[in-house]
Amino acid sequence: MKSIWGKPVCEDLGELVDPARTALVVIDIQNDFVHPDGYYGQIGKDLSQMQEILPRVVALLEGARQAGVMVIWVQQTLLPNARADSPSWLRRRTRGTMPPEWTLEGSWGEDFIAPLRPRPGEPIVKKHRSSAFVGTSLDLLLRSNEIESLVLTGVVTQGCVESTGRDATFHDYYVVLVRDCVGTIDRELHAASMICQSTRYDFADSEAILAEWARAGARTPLRAGAR
């Protein structure tokens, strides 16, 4: 920690991902976005980058659980008949004549892609917009569990990941974006978004975060199950 204007401010990665104050946030890794049979796959989008990150997200999730880091699942959700869409949001979502029907509530496409599975005690936050802070209880859940820092993973980089990361900083959380655990359907957009996001918060590789969590686990008793 360093002191700025008399306030304690996190300095190194170990402090930024301290298991006692950190949540791993898994954003939108759902069949409709990542699985070949899902919405993006069926309309021919390039899934390769999102597929590449999956094993690393699985490893990060496992490390978080072992270190007692709170895990939060963010899930894009559409309600039938556009019940969660405002007129302006419908315009935003519509490229042709109708907006895409993805992640419909209760559908296979809305579900998280195997083998990613929430466990009891890992809250699922459903959202109807890009940012996980808009129209959700995410902030309340984080506050209730004295979380100060978010480790962000998921898809898509320039959409829900970037929106959530920026909002997190405005809600006064530290943000660490896991460089090798975010992806999208367009590598050029990914690169552009990563440049913009890197001016806003910390980036780290999943292996470096896992090493910090392993170190913290060796130092203190496991907190897993305490929540």
In the complex, which residues of this chain contact other proteins (CB under 8 A)?
Answer: 79-87, 89, 120-121, 123, 126-129, 134-137, 140-141, 143-146, 227
Least Å distance, CB 88 to other proteins, is: 10
93 closest CA partner among 131, 128, 49: 128
The angle subtended at Cα 164 by Cα 52 and Cα 97, nearest 5°, is 80
Asked if 53 and 183 count as a contact pair (C-beta separation under 8 A), the reply is: yes
DSSP code at position 15:
H
Q: Is 160 a catalytic residue?
A: yes
89 versus 112: smaller Cβ distance to other proteins: 89
Q: Is 19 left (phi over 0), alpha (psi -120 to 50) or beta?
A: alpha
The type of residue at 91 is R
82 vs 211, beta carbon nearer other proteins = 82
Is 28 annotated in the active site?
yes
Closer CB to other proteins, 141 or 211, in the complex: 141
Q: Residue 126 catalytic?
A: no
- Residue position matching structure tokens 């894009």: 76
Peptide bond into 115 cis (omega under 30): yes
Do 27 and 163 meet the contact criterion of CB atoms below 8 Å apart? no
If the CB atoms of residues 48 and 86 are measured against other proteins, the closer one turns out to be: 86
Burial label for 9, CB within 10 Å (0-12, 13-18, 19+), is: exposed
Nearer to other proteins, 35 or 127 (CB): 127
- Residue 85 C-beta: closest distance to other proteins, Å: 6
Annotated catalytic residue, options 126, 160, 167, 181: 160
In terms of Cβ atoms closer than 10 Å to its own Cβ (0-12, 13-18, 19+), residue 208 is middle
Question: Which residues belong to the active site?
Answer: 28, 127, 160
